[in-house]
Amino acid sequence: MDFISGNICTLDIIFGPMFSGKTTELMRRLNICAEAKYKVLYINSIIDKRSEKGFSTHNQILKESDGIVFVKTNNLFQVLDIAKQYDIIGIDESQFFEDLKEFCSTMIEVHKKKVIVAGLNGDFERKPFGQINDLITLCDSITKLSPFCSSCRVKNGIMTPAIFSKRISMSKETILVGQSESYIPVCRDCYTL
């Protein structure tokens, strides 16, 4: 699917559970835009401290692009003046931004930018997490990614699509930035076990 239309001011959502490749897909799209000579900005939350790079992905092949500018913030409107200078804005770990809906709406409708948002489709309790679900009525496209269920793979050697993030640590905090030590992707059946 070609995600660059004649009308550049669009909103695309990439979401799914942990380990579904959201950042990898976001970076793939941003790299295509950068190679096409669009001015590209990648925004991530300062809460995400998993990588020294501007982004964190489980894809070891993915590298930063020379054509993408990386910034971290805790509030999207803090980088509004920077974002206005770019054609394409990618927002990663979008569940951490409390001003996501208003910022995306402003960038698309006022500043005529293309915005690509990547984030979790829900928290570890399968509840809405952040404002990404609030963007569904505003968006042009939605891509829901699914990794394979870790439990099914280990127990049965089968590859069942995972649709949820299951927390395997004992923490009950809603925000716990972690990787495989804290979460696994699971299917509906394995979530309830």
Digit-coded pLDDT (tens) for 117-150? 999 999 989 999 999 999 999 999 999 999 999 9
Distance CA(41)–CA(115), nearest Å, equals 10
The answer to whether 70 and 44 have CB atoms below 8 angstroms apart is yes
Asked if residue 164 is part of any domain, the answer here is no
Asked if residue 133 is part of any domain, the answer here is yes
Asked if residue 130 is part of any domain, the answer here is yes
Distance CA(5)–CA(180), nearest Å, equals 37
Asked if residue 156 is part of any domain, the answer here is no
Give the mean pLDDT of 74-100: 97
Q: Tell me what percent of the residues of the chain surpass a pLDDT of 90.
A: 68
Cβ-in-10-Å burial (0-12, 13-18, 19+) of 171 comes to exposed
pLDDT of residue 169: 75
Split into its structural domains, the chain has a count of 1
Asked if residue 180 is part of any domain, the answer here is no
Catalytic residue among 25, 52, 64, 93: 93
Give the mean pLDDT of 158-179: 79
The answer to whether 99 and 45 have CB atoms below 8 angstroms apart is no
Would you call 102 a catalytic residue per the annotation? no
Does the pLDDT value for residue 107 go beyond 80? yes
Q: Which domain holds residue 100?
A: 11-145
Asked if residue 2 is part of any domain, the answer here is no
Range in 83-92, 127-136, 147-156, 167-176 with the lowest mean pLDDT: 167-176
Question: DSSP of 145-193, one letter per residue?
Answer: ---B-HHHHHHH---PBP-EEEE-SS---S----STTTEEEE-HHHHT-
Does the pLDDT value for residue 27 go beyond 50? yes
CATH number at residue 109: 3.40.50.300
Strand, helix or coil at 57?
Answer: coil
Asked if residue 103 is part of any domain, the answer here is yes
> What is the tens place of the pLDDT at every residue in 43-63?
999 987 655 555 545 445 555
Q: What backbone phi and psi angles, to 5 degrees, belong to 133?
A: -70, -25
